[in-house]
Amino acid sequence: MLNINENTRLDARTLTVTINTQSFRIVQNVPSCSYTLAPTSLDESGGGGSARVTLTTGQDCFWTASASEGWIRVLNTSGVGSAIINLDLALNPSDVRHAFLTIAGQRVNVTQRRQQ
């Protein structure tokens, strides 16, 4: 019996097993996953604080999350299955600013207004 762990990578992986001089090639494909984000854009106040994006996907689907700018901190940067992606936004003492999140390969635009 051969046990192979789940493939959580974003590409297929290959293994060659040799038994009694016979070689067998095993290819483990990437899970077929689709991802839905809500909302797909954020318009936040300049006072900073928290925000979140809901990710819906299959229970075996791997994802990562990152922000394009340092004024947004992604609190949970990777996982498997559906999740709420929590964000921490810094105060904005200047003009309106823009950034984006990349979650499971999809983009969420973020606008933060000036602090009042």
Q: Cβ of 31: how many Cβ atoms within 10 Å?
A: 16
Residues 86, 73 contacting (CB under 8 angstroms): no
Radius of gyration (C-alpha) of the chain in whole angstroms: 20
Question: pLDDT of 39-67, one tens digit each?
Answer: 999 999 999 999 999 999 998 889 999 99
- Beta strand 106-112 with 41-44: parallel, antiparallel or unpaired? parallel
With CA atoms as reference, report the closest residue to 111 among 37, 39, 45: 45
State in Å, rounded, how far the first CA of the chain is from the last one: 65
Q: What structural domains and CATH numbers belong to the chain?
A: 36-112 (2.60.40.10)
* pTM for the predicted model, two decimal places: 0.73
Question: pLDDT of 64-79, one tens digit each?
Answer: 999 999 999 999 999 9
Residues 63, 55 contacting (CB under 8 angstroms): yes
Question: What's the pLDDT score for residue 7?
Answer: 66
Question: What's the pLDDT score for residue 4?
Answer: 74
